[in-house]
Amino acid sequence: MVSAPDSARPPAGVARAAGGTCSKGSGEDPLLLVVDPVARLTDAESVRIARDVLRAATPGLKLCLPDDPAQTPRLLARCGSRRPVLVGDDRALLHAVRYLHGERALGGTALSVVPVGDGPSVALARSLGLPLDAVSAARTVLRGNPHAMDLLVDDEDGVVLGGVRTEASPAVRPPRREEHAERDADRAGQLAGQWRRMYQALARTMLAHGRGRASGERGGLSPAAAGRPVPSSPPASRRPPARGAQRLRVEADGAVVAGPDRPVTDVTVRTTGTGGLAEVSVQPLAGTPLRVRAHTVTVSAPDGFPGFRYRADADADSGAPAAPAASRTWTVLPRAWHLVLPAG
């Protein structure tokens, strides 16, 4: 007999509560199962399977069905003595961890997760070591062990579970003074080319009319031989970086890893899981990537630049990248949260 999906009307005996519906089993309540509404819409069958497996093993399970995704982390925070279990995708996991961190309740909570969603929407859960099929994930909730995990937090108390990656933005342009200098250099290069072509044409004409004359006459000499300087193109150091490159300053525990004099195409910062350090990777415009590990990482744009864009947990949060920041510092908080993972 197939039970109705959780998104349907709650069965008899289920009370209506602020933030959705919650139902209690008999006896103790060891688990608080919160099903994100997006998961019920995405894959109601996986939600039903996970619920049935957990309910069969824990008769005291309490089931909560929030009506709005914003209510999901609030219900998890009110778990009391029960173990909170989240059913949802990476976005729901991120919102839950960020909310619990903001409430200063993350350190004392061992969070269990049943990932529900398509491949890209549960990529973060996979990278954290969670099984993706409903049965295995539910068994992990019952038989798994809490693992202490590092947390990456920025200087505005923003939380990152996976990693941070900078993104080149067309809006990021050099300061006005440098724009004028580069524009003048471009004009100088154009004028240099025009003058060079004119000198060459004039030299050919005078050489053709001056055949038979003494070779020392100035009319038959090239501009260089006649001592006339030929303007050159602007030096490469004054040209703007190639498309997609950025001028950034990257510091790892106070040591400069990359400077604005060497454009980069990519900077990533991510936790290593439980090592207490972040892994920093800097890809220069030319050359091999630089990789270091550090407790604190600072990325900043040079003075006068409007800033740089970055995306945190890009695989999990499909929203737009953060607004341009002049500087941002990420710090690793060792063993800041606990996630229930498969035993062994």
Q: Which of 2-11, 145-154, 233-242 has the lowest mean pLDDT?
A: 2-11
Nearest to 266 by CA among 278, 280, 254: 280
Q: How far apart are CA 186 and CA 209, in angstroms?
A: 35
Share of the chain above pLDDT 70, in %: 68
pLDDT over 50 (residue 193):
yes
pLDDT band at 314 (very low <50, low <70, confident <90, very high): low
Contact 337/151 with Cβ under 8 angstroms? yes
pLDDT at site 30 = 83
What's the predicted TM-score (pTM) here? 0.71
Maximum CA extent, the chain: 117
pLDDT over 80 (residue 44):
yes
CA angle in degrees (0–180, nearest 5) for 152-153-158: 125
pLDDT tens digits, one per residue of 16-26: 344 455 545 43
pLDDT tens digits, one per residue of 221-257: 444 444 444 444 444 434 445 556 889 999 999 999 9
pLDDT over 80 (residue 2):
no
Domains of the chain: 15-143 (3.40.50.10330), 165-172+243-335 (no CATH), 176-238 (no CATH)
What is the token pair recorded at 86?
């989240």
pLDDT at site 169 = 54
pLDDT tens digits, one per residue of 263-309: 999 999 998 877 889 999 999 988 889 999 999 999 999 887 778 98
pLDDT over 50 (residue 27):
no
Q: How far apart are CA 243 and CA 55, in angstroms?
A: 55
β-bridge partners, 22 = 15, 64
End-to-end CA distance of the chain: 35
β-bridge partners, 84 = 32
Residue 12 sits at φ, ψ, to 5 deg, of -60, 140
